[in-house]
Structure formats: structure tokens, C-alpha cells
Amino acid sequence: MVKSASSLSRFLNHYLWSTRRVIRTTRKAVLEQIAHHRPRKDLPLRVLIDLTSLEKCGKFLHLSSPTLTPTGSDCWVRMLNGKRGLHLVVLYLVLGEWRVPWSFRVWRGKGHPSPVQLACKLLATVPPQLSQGRVVIVQADTEFGTIEFLKAVRKRSWRAVVGMRCNRKLADGRCLKQLYRHGNRGQQVYLEDRCFPLTVSWFWLKRAEGKRELRFVVSTHPYSGSYLVRLGRKRWAIEGFFKTIKHRFGLHRFGQSTKLGVYRWLILSLIAYLLVHWIDQWSLPPILDWKAASDLALEILFPSIVWSQLLKSIQSHAEIAAQYGFEIILKPLPNCPYGECCKI
């Protein structure tokens, strides 16, 4: 049964349930599932960071506090890169076949932490259960190609692979674009601040209408030029995630009347993506179709939740049953085909 819009609004904006507890429980389940599958230790943990905009046309005065004006000091709906809306810096984990949107921060405008500063803070949320004993590669686009971000990655002894603007100045006075004609992929260079060497490579990216754009990618680790290009291209996995989470799971379709409601909407959209991804991973062979996987997730998980609540209710009345000479015993059936995925 589909709930009414007013019921959903009350659930998101007013009901007293712990959003933090939902996040903690979800993260715990994610780590347990990954640990259960024991991914190979030689697989690197890829940490993808990017900025996405959830465009909005209305006034959304309720997203501004405490002044209730769209120019308030804590307004969530802002203009950035020519787009008006909610701007999120997202941290997305890739380990083998597992894809996990792990955390995000809302960019609140000038006078607040910049997207780069938010990205540096997000690095601290990467779970040590996944990063310890592994090569960690942090990938981001040109917006995060700053010394501040590169230093934050190096501080954790991780490897940064980020896009870099072609007009970025080098220590010898040249700019990156000049390396395309007079340099080699995989060579090491210093930016004009001379902090540490960076390995540089480049590739042509196909754009709309058959046009091509020269893209530069740098790394704090001395990768070969060809492998660095491969890593640079793999960053686009997060763009695919943004497309899916918006158009299949409605991340941008919030219309709640409070910041809490919006925040909960975003969290639940990400959890929905995770659940469907989990079901797809459990399917043999994988479904590789988000609509079909979503339908299967609903078919499997919704009945399990209903039954779980029903069985808990029955078990809570065990004392009443005992008064009439009955004993309530609940135990799972062996070899349940979806037993593991229902633990989510």
C-alpha cells in the first residue's frame, strides 16, 4: 500500500526517529556484508569524491535558518557553477564489485567550508575496516585538484589521483597544457609551489556532438602514464552513480518543509540504492538492470520486514501463550535462499 503524501511528510519532517541511528545501523550492515564476502587484500580501496547539484527552482525559504530568508547565513539552496539548488560533496567507496555511497556534506555557501574543505573532512569518515592493509586511491575531478586536498590525502599515506586544469602553472614556468606537445605521459613535475612531485598524464575525453576535450590527471604516486589514464577514466564511475541515484531513486525530488526532512530524504534515497545494489550482488548472475533489481528488492525485502515485525509481536506475547499451555519457538529454516540478503 502506498502512503499518502501527508503521511510521508509527517514521517520525514516530524516523527521522532533517530536519523543517526539509521546511518550507524546501515554502515554496520555494509561492513558486515563486505567482511562476509572477504574481498581480496590485493584489491585497492577506491575513494571517489565529487560534487553534485540537486537543482531547485522554488524559493525553499524553509531551507534557510534562522532568518527564513533565502540569503540567510545558513541557507542550503545556493548558486554554484551557474546552478541553483542543493550542492552535495559525496564520498563513494569502490572495493571490487561493491559500491557504497558512504557519506556526504552539504555546501552552505560563502563563509562556510568550501567543497574542497568538505572533501578533506569526508576523508576522515572512510572506515578503517576497509582501508587498513590496503592500497587506498582517492579519485576526484579538477575542482579538487588543490594543494590542500592533495596534502590531506598524503597525510593519510593514501594515493591521490585527481584531475588538473590544463592552465595550471608548473615550477619551471610552463603550464600543464604545454606537456601535451613537449612532454611524456608518466613524467614527474612540480607545481609552482614546489611542495612534492606529481606524476602527470593526459587523455582525450569524448564530449557531446563528437567533440573531444583534452584532460589532465595527476597522481601523488609514480604510476605509469598509461595506468594513470586508466585510473583517471575510472573516476567517471561516480558520475554513473549520480545519474542512477537521481533518476532511479529520486535523490533530487525532495519537497520537505524542514532541513531534517530533506536530510532524511537524502539518507533514505541512498539506503534504497544500497539495498538494490545488495540484491543485485546476491543475484546469480547479477541482474545489471536497476528497475529489475529494484522490483526484486521490493519483492524480497518488504515481505521479510512485515514478517519480522509480525514475529516480534508474536514473541512479545510469549507469557500470555504460556498461560494457556503453549510455547512459542521461532527459528530460521535451513538453506533459506534469501536468508543472507534479508539480514540487511
**Predicted confidence (pLDDT) per residue in 307-337, tens digit:** 777 877 887 888 888 888 888 777 777 766 5
Q: How many helices, marked H, and strands, marked E, lie in the chain?
A: 11, 9
Most confident of 156-165, 172-181, 232-241: 156-165
The rounded Cα 202 to chain-centroid distance in angstroms is 26
Report pLDDT for 61: 61
**Signed CA dihedral, 16, 19, 21, 22: sign only:** positive
The larger pLDDT score, comparing residue 336 to residue 86, is at 86
Question: What are the helix (H) ranges across 56-164?
Answer: 115-123, 128-131, 147-155
Least confident of 10-14, 111-115, 122-126: 10-14
Quote the percentage of the chain above a pLDDT of 70: 88
Question: What are the helix (H) ranges across 235-289?
Answer: 237-247, 259-282
Report pLDDT for 65: 44
**CA proximity to 55, closest of 271, 239, 253:** 253
CATH architecture of 39-247: Alpha-Beta Complex (3.90)
Place of cell 619551471: 172
Question: Does position 301 have pLDDT exceeding 70, yes or no?
Answer: yes
Question: Does position 181 have pLDDT exceeding 90, yes or no?
Answer: no
- Mean pLDDT on 250-270: 88
Partners of residue 175 on adjacent β-strands: 169
Least confident of 7-11, 31-35, 187-191: 7-11
Query: CA 31, 250, 271 angle in degrees (round to 5)?
Result: 15
Most confident of 3-12, 118-127, 190-199: 118-127
- Pick left, alpha or beta for residue 36 (phi over 0 → left; psi -120 to 50 → alpha; otherwise beta): alpha
Question: Does position 88 have pLDDT exceeding 60, yes or no?
Answer: yes
The larger pLDDT score, comparing residue 145 to residue 315, is at 145
The larger pLDDT score, comparing residue 260 to residue 307, is at 260
Which H or E run contains 237?
helix 237-247
Question: Does position 142 have pLDDT exceeding 50, yes or no?
Answer: yes
Report pLDDT for 200: 95
Report pLDDT for 286: 65
- Mean pLDDT on 188-211: 87
User: Could you tell me the pLDDT band of residue 70, with boundaries at 50, 70 and 90?
Assistant: very low
Report pLDDT for 273: 93
C-alpha cell at 183: 612532454
Sequence ranges of the chain with CATH classification 3.90.350.10: 39-247
Question: Does position 24 have pLDDT exceeding 70, yes or no?
Answer: yes
**CA proximity to 260, closest of 65, 24, 71:** 65
Predicted TM-score of the model (pTM): 0.83
Q: What is the mean pLDDT of the chain?
A: 86
Residue 6 amino acid letter? S
The larger pLDDT score, comparing residue 283 to residue 234, is at 234
169-180 pLDDT tens trace: 999 889 999 998
